[in-house]
Amino acid sequence: MNYLPIFLDLRDRHCLVVGGSETAARKAELLLRAGARVDVAAPALHEAWERLPGTDRVSRVADSFSVSLLDGKDAVIVVEDDMALATLISDAARARHLPINVADKPALCSYILPSIIDRSPIMVAVSSGGEAPVLARMLRARLETMIPAAYGRLGALASRFKERVRGTVKPAQRRAFWEKVFLSPVAEMVFSGREAEAEKQLEAMIANAATHDISRGEVYLVGAGPGNPDLLTFRALRLMQQADVIVHDRLVSQPILDMCRRDAERIYVGKERDDHAVPQEEINMLLVRLAKAGKRTLRLKGGDPFIFGRGGEEIETLVEHGVSFQVVPGITAAAGVASYAGIPLTHRDYAQSVAFVTGHLKDNTFNMNWDGIARHDQTIVIYMGLKGLPLLCEALVKHGLDSTTPAAIIQQGTLPTQRVVTGTLSTLPGLAATAGLKAPTLIIVGNVVKLREKLGWYQPEQHQEQAQRSPLEAPDHLR
């Protein structure tokens, strides 16, 4: 190691900043956030200094540096272009064994300021020792996705109960106890804003410290979005990496499954038209059984669980059996696929409303409110309509839309394998058949489709690497 990572306690300690620029203000802000008092030596201060938190702890003590300003200081930061002056300050600080950082001059530093993920009281620092700061910032960005802001609240909860745990749990068992707490529903209660519940659960665990019985299971109903891993929410990613069991659908893409906890059990319950791998009622009861066995169960669904995902049916069963659960929304196919196809679902010149419908055939017919759907000022988004596409287009024309109404069908939207076919209600079925499209697809009907040629931005051939690895993909040791 070129540097020893340490955390300095600067609360109510005195620090010196040499320089009054905006960059110097940003450095001073870090000291202020750590509770320090800051003396500044600079001929003038940039207006950014006025916006700093804790300006009552900032004092401009001199127009320029003098060695006497180092007296009584605990740390020094220098933002100075003049190499000779920066070297003089560095030498003087080192002679007094004071930690000194000189911006953009690593050779003059005895410490460096890392990229910080602040989840107080949890702090994570990333540094390249000044050799590759851009890479350090990229690593920090990746860690930001894996460490939600609520970890600070979880750390604060642990701090409040630390003494009680010390008085109840034997020293040899404390580490195992806290590991179980942080992997238990207590953590998820904090993350979802149920802190009062979390405190009660933690109190029960402390009272039952002899056995640490925290085997209460829970179901996470999570929307995996339209397929592209980059469109997952941070919350979905966190739950994916901590679940004991993954119950997933056919529409959940492999790159997303690869981001789940590696040692979790995987159960496939996917359904296709006329081929239901597991009946819905059995899926509902499977979730109940797994949760009651103490498993943290991730029900991973393509798109959003509450938009044609039968999520409501599943949680109804969970409620009936007293199983704890939470729901994490996902980007539904209509929003995600339309965006990647360059087709806005609404536009003040073309469509003032959107209708989401399913294209499932029953006895070769559709049971739909055609009068409410077939409107000229409305965009119609049809899920699962590939098989019935000719009948759908025919019915829309029959119920009032012009046969020249623009329409599009998108295969595997948002993925590097995305294909888009556009036409009209009269031509789209033939064009889709010629293209040999296969499910999953999404159909969009309405004048907004005219905008695709102008607004289409996603070029799948330029995103092939995305099929191999997502920027959000977790390292192996975090799975």
Residue 463 has pLDDT above 60, yes or no: no
Helix (H/G/I), strand (E/B), else coil: 212: coil
- Angle ∠(409,415,418) on CA atoms, nearest 5: 35
**pTM as predicted:** 0.63
pLDDT tens digits along 308-363: 989 999 999 999 999 999 999 999 999 999 999 999 999 999 999 999 999 876 66
Active-site choice (271, 292, 387, 450):
271
The amino acid present at 312, given as its one-letter code, is G
Percent residues over pLDDT 90 in the chain: 68
Tell me if residue 271 is catalytic.
yes
Q: How much is the average pLDDT of 110-122? A: 90
354 burial level (CB within 10 Å; 0-12, 13-18, 19+):
middle
User: Per the residue annotation, which of 39, 249, 295, 304 is the catalytic one?
Assistant: 249
Give me the percent of the chain exceeding a pLDDT of 70: 92
pLDDT for res 275: 54
d(CA 428, CA 180): 56
pLDDT at 466 over 70: no
Q: Is 63 a catalytic residue?
A: no
Q: pLDDT confidence of 416, banded at 50, 70, 90?
A: very high
Query: pLDDT tens digits, residue range 429-461?
Result: 999 999 999 999 999 999 999 999 999 999 876
Tally the C-alpha atoms within 13 A of residue 393's C-alpha that lie toward its C-beta: 23
Residue 420 to residues 190, 342, 410, 437, 442, Cα–Cα distance (Å): 43, 10, 5, 9, 10
- Give the largest CA-CA distance in the chain: 91
203-217, 255-269, 364-378, 457-471: least confidently modelled range: 457-471
The rounded distance, in Å, linking the Cα atoms of 36 and 34 is 6
Antiparallel, parallel or unpaired: β 115-119 and 122-126 = antiparallel
